[in-house]
Amino acid sequence: MNDTSRTPRRMAQSAKTLVDIGPLAVFFVVYFFGERLAPMIGSLIGRDLRIEDGGELFAALVAYMPCFAVAFVYSVWRERRIAPMLIISFVMVVLLGSMTLLFKDKTFFFMKPTIAYALFAATLGGGLASGRNLLKAAFDGALNLPESAWATLTKRYAIFFAALAIGHEILWRWLMHGCDYNAGPACPGEPIWVQAKLFGFTTINIVFAAAQGPFLVKHMKDSTDVNHAP
């Protein structure tokens, strides 16, 4: 009898979307609407809940981190595997999110995307250098490409993530220039950074992935032709 209990499975697209978007939606709602929602929730539970000016990011993190942890555990349980990129994201959220809350210093969370993108780039580049294609492993058989195409795609993503790391680091430091990173008054650039992080960089990732479409179609066809060659 074959043991299929450890065979990787894929989540339904609806579940995957909820896992990917759900925690971010919670972060967005608490950050932008938490000041109005907190008193309402407090009245329901009989407590005085308020979010002070400048505390929006801390409150959003308190709500976001448990949601992200639940999504991570569900993803691992459902798919029975842990992708390298997911491990990096989980460690970054838990480590830097906790440091942000513990030290009341937003610098840690502002730097999280920079560090995560840099680690993505280093992981993919290091994998190629050591003869392991981690991007191929992350797709787990979802794409049928020749090894040369996987190598090219991985190089593109490594360069892309490195560019994102540099771009994000410049952006957040420019937006937060002269601001108090602790629990002081809200910085005018902080809401812009939050929107750029949630929507801007997400859009850039989607556009970049879509731009790889012609390359994937071409090489998936080439791979199919090779597999069906007499």
pLDDT digits 0-9 by tens, 113-161: 999 999 999 999 999 999 888 888 877 667 788 889 999 999 999 999 9
CB 181 within 8 A of CB 110: yes
**pLDDT of amino acid 7:** 52
Has residue 27 been placed in a domain?
yes
pLDDT score of 190 more than 90? yes
The per-residue pLDDT for 19 is 85
Residue 212: exposed, middle, or buried by beta-carbon count in 10 A (0-12, 13-18, 19+)?
middle
Report the pLDDT value the prediction gives residue 208, as an integer from 0 to 100: 97
Q: Residue 175: give the domain boundaries.
A: 13-227
- Taking phi over 0 as left and psi of -120 to 50 as alpha, with beta for the rest, 48 belongs to beta
Which residue in the block uniquely carries the two structure tokens 């990732």?
205
213 in a structural domain = yes
- Mean pLDDT value across residues 91-118: 95
pLDDT at 165 over 70: yes
Cβ neighbours, 10 Å, residue 153:
21
Counted domains in the chain? 1
**Does 8 reside within a domain?**
no
Q: Please write the tens of the pLDDT for every residue from 62-86.
A: 999 999 999 999 988 887 777 777 8
Is residue 4 one of the residues assigned to a domain? Answer: no
Q: Which amino acid is at 116?
A: A
Comparison of pLDDT for 66 and 221, the residue scoring more: 66
How many whole angstroms separate alpha carbon 104 and alpha carbon 221? 53
HEC string of 106-120?
CHHHHHHHHHHHHHH
Across the chain, what does the average pLDDT equal?
A: 86
d(CA 182, CA 179): 9
CA 14 to chain centre: 18
Closest by CA position to 30, among listed 48, 5, 57, 69:
57
For residue 86, being part of any structural domain is answered with yes
The DSSP code sequence of 14-79 is HHHHHHHHHHHHHHHHHHHHHHHHHHHHHHHHTS-----TT-HHHHHHHHHHHHHHHHHHHHHHHH
Q: Is 220 exposed, middle or buried (0-12, 13-18, 19+ CB in 10 A)?
A: middle
pLDDT class for 225, splitting at 50, 70, 90?
low
